[in-house]
Homo-oligomer: A and B are copies of this chain.
């Protein structure tokens, strides 16, 4: 089973200790090339890709299983940005020729895609300043995209811009003339970059669909991120439970204090409820269900709430040791908070859920 494979690989080959080493070494792209190569070898880059393009077409629920295990170890790589988000855009918005050109390279890791939507600190996919003007048989794109995930290592950006038919997606090679990028140093040490586009010329075949495709891609991105966040939170829960069972104070393990036992029970309940949401969103995407949008917002919001609470409790229950950089708790807290605003925070998705339900 892929879960066992992912779990074994992540804990043995890419554990949180590896992430810490990578952080302390200041690796530029914020991931180890060897880690990324292993993932490609194991075929994870092809989980969503149809067999005709060299993938295994196992679907989003399976991808979620892998992302959950990677989330548990904070494993850094462009897997999510490229093989889930990027591949989804090509699958949903690409022509056969585009799929033929891009997907095999996503699978073999030679192409790293990433989605570039937001332009400021908050997620506002409905409005943007970046413009893609018709220019001969292609487009000329100008704008600035903020906090682009794996923005430094990407070989191509899937840029959301105001095109001739309203908002659309456009494929922009990272080495196109007029593209520049600035690496960011963020609290969670993941790879982000601001990307500037000045009069970037792309061909007519760069167009990857319009606003409806963007929304569908975003929902897939949210469902996938929900799985990763569930992994981060589950590991935080396990670390906390373990601590409750082993740490002694006043001559007894602290998990025997009723207040802490009840808190653990609350967190466990939240975790089970969050897991149901995360899995339901992935399954809805796989099934093309009518309520996919609702469930993706539900997943991002409920897993987000749980991760927020769980990461704070991880620190709080561990006390002083949780505050030290030497211990891993801080890494989980930082990652937890960094994932919150990505593709809309809980408030964004509560608002969206209410709108989808008509109030």
A residues neighboring B (CB under 8 Å) = 257-259, 262
Contacts of A257 in B (CB 8 A): 258
The 5 closest A-B pairs by CB, nearest first: A258-B258, A258-B259, A259-B262, A259-B259, A257-B258
> What is the oligomeric copy number?
2
| Cβ of A313 to closest chain B Cβ, rounded Å | 15
- In angstroms, Cα B258 to Cα A258, docked, is 6
Q: How far is the CA of A259 from the CA of B260 in the complex (A)?
A: 9
Q: Which residue of B lies closest to A257 (CB)?
A: B258
Q: How far is B258's CA from A259's CA once the two chains are assembled, in angstroms?
A: 6
Shortest beta-carbon distance from A256 to chain B in Å: 10
Q: How far is the CA of A301 from the CA of B1 in the complex (A)?
A: 54
Nearest CB in chain B: distance from A265 CB, A: 10
Can you report 5 A-B residue pairs in the complex whose CB atoms are below 8 A from each other? A257-B258, A258-B258, A258-B259, A259-B259, A259-B262
Residues of chain B contacted by A258 (CB below 8 angstroms)? 257-259
In the assembled complex, the Cα of A259 lies from the Cα of B256 at a distance in Å of: 12
B contact residues around A259 at 8 Å (CB): 258-259, 262
Expressed in whole angstroms, the minimum distance between the Cβ of A347 and any Cβ of chain B is: 15
Distance in angstroms from A129 CB to nearest chain B CB is 25
CB contacts (< 8 Å) of A262 on chain B: these are 259
Expressed in whole angstroms, the minimum distance between the Cβ of A267 and any Cβ of chain B is: 15
In the assembly, what is the distance between CA of A258 and CA of B257, in Å?
7
Query: Which residue of chain B has the shortest Cβ distance to A263 in the bound complex?
Result: B259
Q: What is the bound-complex CA distance between A258 and B259, given in angstroms?
A: 6
Kindly state the separation between the CA atoms of A257 and B262 in the bound complex, as whole angstroms. Answer: 12
The distance from the CB of A204 to the nearest CB of chain B, in whole angstroms, is 46
In the assembled complex, how far is the CB of residue A173 from the closest CB belonging to chain B, in whole angstroms? 43
Closest CB of chain B to A252's CB: distance in Å? 12
How many angstroms from the CA of A257 to the CA of B258 in the assembled complex? 7
